[in-house]
Each structure stands twice: as C-alpha cells, then as structure tokens.
C-alpha cells in the first residue's frame, strides 16, 4: 500500500489512506505527524485494530496518558476510554449522556491538558453522530488587532463543572472532584511546536475571565465563542467504520452530535496524549 494524504475541509482536516496502523512504516509515521500539524485534524481511514494494538499504534503521535474517567475505561486496556451510545450518567441520574455534545477542547479543566485526542470508530451509526471541529488558529488570526491586544493578556478560570456548561456532564465522585481544583489558562495560547497563536476556549469548562466583572466576563466569553464557532472555521466529520480521527486540542475545538437514530449503536475508543501547560 502507498500512503496518500488529501484535504477534507477548507480550513482544517485531512484524510490518510493506504496505510495499516498495525504495521506502520517509519516514513509513513513522519508523514502522518506532519499532516496532523498542517491540518489540525487527521482521519486515518479503513483501520482494523484490536484494542491493545490501537492503543499501541497511537504512540506514533505522542506518549499516551491515563484517561480521566475510570468508570468508562476499557475492561482490558485500562487507558482506553469507551465512548458509546450506551453511555449513562452512572453516578448521577442514570440517564443517557452524549459526551462532548457542546463545543469544547479536551481536558482544559486540568493544569496540563492532553495535547492530542485520537478516536477510533469501531462501530458507527448509519446516519448522524458526526463530529464537528473548528480551526482556532484561523479564528484568532481573523480578529481585529484591537481585540487581539485586549485579549492577549487575559486569563480564564476553567473547571470541570462550570456554571456556564452547555451540556449535561457526568457526575464524578467527591474524591475525583477534590483532585480537580480550578485552573487558570490563557485565552490565547502559543502552540509549542508550530509557534502559532490560537484562541484557547472551552465553553463547557470556562467559568470566568480573571479580573473582569461577571457580566463583562460572560459577554466576552460568549463573543469569542460565537466568533470561533462560525461555519467558515468548521469541518464536519462524517464517520466511517474503521476511521481513526486524531485532533490537536491546542488549536481546535470540537463537539459530538447525538443525532443518530434510536437503537443505532455508536462505539468508539479514545486515546489521549501528554501535553504541556498552555502558554
């Protein structure tokens, strides 16, 4: 097989075909990493991997790290997280929960969030269940200079259970919550590899802008979110079974859609890779 990489969206997204992640060649590994840096979201199409093989293969993108939710971890490969149509708020009301149904970037409630997320579509519904992404480089670049000057120094409080959250989140144990104190991140971060600036937002985890009154803080966070999630910055991924999608949380946001037919099954496995503190 010969690796080919082609564009998926206008502002972000690429697809890699002709590669088997069970037996990845060294040159192909470098090409995949480069394609991800250039396109922010990379789909590696047509894969068939056992859970351990998938986890191991994702090491090509970075050092894998433990998942934050033990209740949803794979029964055999503990550092794989299961995301499925069967997800329920086990510690809460027990009702169905669509993980990531509002715009967000993964793990921003941590002092050191993961850098990349990879999701393997083991079983996908016939329709619906798309994942949407936005290019946060482009969203920042298009801001007026005066806005860039205003938000450049600002820092934002992020927390797991924000009062501003846009969707239902899974209840965590008191022990888990105690281990997740509020953290503060810059509103604009510089990517540690590319050196480019990007808006760093997470509408589902942001609580307030440090130093601003609540009304002004809410207005600014709402304004930046509305700007960043415009259709012109988006790529919408329509899943195929066997897709592995990798995205860079340092320069994107994403959201899941739970609009697949009732009774349809969606079963995905997630790996996250180590990152550095936003700066």
Q: DSSP secondary-structure letter at 43? A: E
Lowest mean pLDDT among 174-188, 192-206, 220-234: 174-188
Residue spans of the domains in the chain: they are 4-273
Share of the chain above pLDDT 70, in %: 89
Retrieve residue 110's tokens: 């941590």
Share of the chain above pLDDT 90, in %: 76
**HSE (CB half, 13 Å, CA atoms) of 167?**
19
pLDDT digits (tens, 9 = 90+) for 113-157: 999 999 999 999 999 999 999 999 999 999 999 999 999 999 999
CATH ID of 4-273, from 3.40.50.2300, 2.170.8.10, 3.60.130.10, 3.60.40.10:
3.60.130.10
pLDDT at 262 over 90: no
pLDDT digits (tens, 9 = 90+) for 28-85: 999 999 999 999 999 999 999 999 999 999 999 999 998 766 667 888 998 999 988 6
C-alpha 254/C-alpha 277 separation (Å) is: 20
Burial 146-171 (b: 16+ CB within 10 A, else e): eeeeebeebebbbbbebebbebbbbe
C-alpha 3/C-alpha 27 separation (Å) is: 10
pLDDT at 7 over 80: yes
Q: Whole-model pTM?
A: 0.92
Is residue 192 within 8 Å of 183, Cβ to Cβ?
no
pLDDT, residue 66, reads: 87
pLDDT, residue 88, reads: 45
Burial 77-98 (b: 16+ CB within 10 A, else e): beebbbbebebeeeeeeeeebb
**HSE (CB half, 13 Å, CA atoms) of 132?**
19
pLDDT, residue 170, reads: 66
């Amino acid at each position: 097989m010969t690796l080919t990489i082609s564009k998926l969206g206008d502002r972000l997204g690429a697809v890699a075909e002709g590669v088997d992640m069970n037996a990845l060649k060294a040159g192909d590994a470098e090409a995949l990493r480069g394609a991800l840096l250039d396109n922010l979201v990379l789909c590696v199409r047509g894969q068939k991997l056992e859970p351990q093989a998938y986890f191991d293969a994702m090491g090509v993108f970075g050092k894998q790290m433990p998942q934050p939710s033990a209740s949803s971890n794979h029964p055999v490969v503990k550092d794989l997280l299961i995301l499925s149509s069967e997800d329920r708020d086990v510690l809460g009301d027990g009702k169905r929960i669509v993980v990531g149904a509002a715009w967000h970037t993964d793990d921003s409630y941590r002092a050191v969030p993961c850098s990349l997320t990879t999701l393997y579509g083991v079983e996908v519904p016939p329709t619906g269940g798309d994942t949407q992404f936005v290019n946060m480089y482009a969203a920042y670049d298009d801001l007026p200079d005066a806005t860039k000057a205003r938000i450049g120094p600002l820092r934002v409080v992020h927390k797991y259970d924000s009062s501003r959250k846009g969707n239902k989140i899974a209840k965590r144990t008191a022990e888990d919550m105690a281990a997740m104190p509020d953290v503060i991140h810059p509103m604009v971060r510089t990517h540690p590899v590319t050196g480019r600036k990007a808006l760093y937002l997470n509408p589902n985890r942001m609580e307030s802008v440090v130093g601003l009154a609540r009304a002004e803080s809410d207005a600014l966070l709402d304004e930046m979110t509305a700007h960043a999630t415009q259709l012109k910055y988006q790529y919408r991924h329509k899943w195929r079974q066997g897709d592995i999608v990798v995205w860079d949380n340092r320069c994107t946001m994403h959201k899941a859609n739970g609009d697949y037919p009732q009774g349809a099954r969606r079963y995905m496995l997630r790996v996250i890779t180590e990152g550095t503190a936003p700066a």
